[in-house]
Amino acid sequence: MMISINDLNKSFGNLKVLSDINIQNIDKGVLAVLGPNGSGKTTLLKCILGMVIPDSGTIEFNAKNVIGKFEYRKTLSYMPQLINFPENLKLYELFDLIKNIRNDNTNDYELIDKFGLHDSLNKKISSLSGGTKQKSNIVVSFMNDSPVIILDEPTTGLDPLALLTLKNLIKLEKEKGKLIIVTSHITSFIEEISDKIVFLLDGEIYYSGTLKLLLENTSQNNLESAMAKLIEKNNHV
């Protein structure tokens, strides 16, 4: 699956959220979309998902513009930052519901085992802890064999074991040739999993490339310091 984003713009009223976004020919591996709060990360993801319609520009899947279309969404799995599952459902009912909606081969049993959710399957979602809800959110996002997986802040609320499990799961899906687009404020997590980084500030791309090149360009030795350097440079422009 090849995705290209061309001259993408989006405003909400007088607020310019995305400005001339160009990300060309991403087809596999992990693309990290980074930036401070309000930089446009989630809006960009929602444009790719078709949840927000841009004002101008194109989003191409295999060289076909998909803005305003819906069929391409069958190739996507999405993990939102905010979980909003029906609270009265039991956890196993949620997983069954997703399977029925997607009507696709799933590996939910394997994922349930990986994240230790067996004891929670008969509990209502309203009774689950935040960490258990987040692990359930991960299962929902990875249970279908989608070529493109979009993860918005997937590390929130995870304990160290669940975080390690998520890292290994992302690496496994990457080895299958899938494209994984992820946002996270946990820079050590991004350093471990990412192949390419896009850094947004005020809706514009200020860096696009590998972590290694970013560290070289900013003369820093870790991603957190490199991002701070980009923000500092922007504040002095």
101 pLDDT band, cuts 50/70/90, is: confident
Question: 89: exposed, middle or buried (C-beta count within 10 Å: 0-12, 13-18, 19+)?
Answer: middle
- What are the C-alpha distances in Å from 18 to residues 57, 87, 152? 11, 34, 17
Asked if residue 94 has pLDDT above 90, the reply is yes
pLDDT given for residue 46 in this prediction:
95
Contact 200, 39 (CB under 8 A): yes
The residue-averaged pLDDT of 184-189 equals 93
* Residues 154, 156, 161, 165, Cα dihedral to 10°: 0
Percent of the chain with pLDDT over 70: 99
Distance CA 98, CA 115 (A): 18
The residue-averaged pLDDT of 219-235 equals 91
Parse the chain into domains and list their residue ranges: 3-85+146-235
The residue-averaged pLDDT of 134-151 equals 94
State the maximum Cα–Cα separation within the chain, in Å, rounded to a whole number: 55
Asked if residue 225 has pLDDT above 80, the reply is yes
The residue-averaged pLDDT of 48-58 equals 96
CATH topology of domain 3-85+146-235: Rossmann fold (3.40.50)
Written in H, E and C, the secondary structure of 149-218 is: EEEECCCCCCCHHHHHHHHHHHHHHHHCCCEEEEECCCHHHHHHHCCEEEEEECCEEEEEECHHHHHHHH
Asked if residue 132 has pLDDT above 60, the reply is yes
pLDDT given for residue 103 in this prediction:
75
Contact 171, 147 (CB under 8 A): no
Q: What is the pTM of this model?
A: 0.94
CB neighbours of 46 closer than 8 A, spacing ≥ 6? Answer: 52
What average pLDDT is seen over the chain? 93
The residue-averaged pLDDT of 200-228 equals 95
Asked if residue 236 has pLDDT above 80, the reply is no
